[in-house]
Amino acid sequence: MQDKLFQLLDNHFDEMVEIRRHLHENPEVSFHETNTAKYIADYHKKLGNEVQEHVGGNGVVAKISGKNPGPVVALRADFDALPIQDQKDVPYKSKVDGVMHACGHDGHTATLLILAKALKQVEDELHGTVVFLHQHAEELSPGGAAPMIKDGALDGVDVVFGTHLWSQDPLGTVQHCSGPFMASADHFTIKVNGKGGHGALPHTTKDAVVIGSQIVNNIQTIVARRVNPLYSAVVSIGKFIADNPYNVIADSVEMVGTVRTFQEDVRNQIEQDIFEIAENTAKAYGATVEYDYGRGYPPVVNHAAETNYIAKIASSITDVNGVHEREPVLASEDFSYYLQKTKGSFFFTGAAFMDGRNNAPHHHPLFDFDERAMLVAAKTLAKAAIDYYKES
């Protein structure tokens, strides 16, 4: 069955590229992916698959059931784009001003659709059921995974697998990591309320810029001096706003930042530390603060057995150019919610151009990837799905 399935994937590779490029030219941002969702649903319907639309919003769930008993294996691909202007000079450049697929979700979707087409052609030999989770709104918290799960997308599922085409890893490699793999992603806002005044009379003020600057510096001690050095964490201020003329001391400033962690207890600690440092620093200068902390996606924590399974099956695929255990990354992914619900694993498929051209990072206006990586991802996910009954 594997040889037949892989040959079908090879035969359909040109269509996989066509689908990816169509989606790349017609991107839709998170929670607005109505045309993309319809395109995905219609494709599955033409294959004769069971299809559910509007799952948790714009999500689409499709199923192929084999003739032989076996587990229910879910495979996930996201399909939303980003509010970024496409600056690439390619024939498939985005046609939508200010919106582009800058993270590979078009490739994830094309991979899963063609895998569904190939699996449909061998469904009589399939053990169990394959569920295709086409997820909307990965890029924007609260994301699409949680509402899809709430709407029943994982009901009856025994295991879930997903991959991310990764433009910074060598083409065709499979990068896996057991345990914490991707970080939680939280955000916070601190507003400092001081007392403004004329720039020539600082003694009559409570300078919010100075106080806010002290808060920024003091917050940086959290990771250096409060978090166990054996754990990873990041606290970064990305925005600091004091909208005043040059000769006016600010009455207030606002700063916005992000927190990335792998452990829930560290996450809780940092949230409390930021508040205490901001409040006490402001109090020392006679000012007050307003504080808001928003929780994003939890960490992606891969299950050990399923991650080892991915490493094992990937090592046997001739198209895979290397299987490597990699360090965790502090980027975030709402695949974490699936792994909280059922066992599974999320891995990276290397998609870098290897011909010397620049590989732009994810979320960059020049982002692109070597489309041959989609075929590697498809075969890895295919083997994960068709062989899992042997692990059950």
**Residues 6+ away with beta carbon under 8 Å from 251:** 193, 194, 195, 196, 208, 244
User: What's the CA gap between 237 and 254, in Å, rounded?
Assistant: 11
- Cβ atoms within 10 A of the Cβ of 390, count? 11
Asked if residue 62 lies in contact with residue 132, where contact means CB atoms within 8 angstroms, the answer is: yes
Is 258 within 8 Å of 187 (Cβ atoms)? yes
Q: Which amino acids are annotated catalytic?
A: 80, 138
- Contact call for residues 129 and 65 (beta carbons, < 8 A): yes
128 near 73, Cβ under 8 Å?
Answer: yes
CB 365 within 8 A of CB 87: yes
Backbone angles phi, psi at 302, to 5 degrees: -75, 145
Report d(CA 100, CA 84) in Å as an integer. Answer: 6
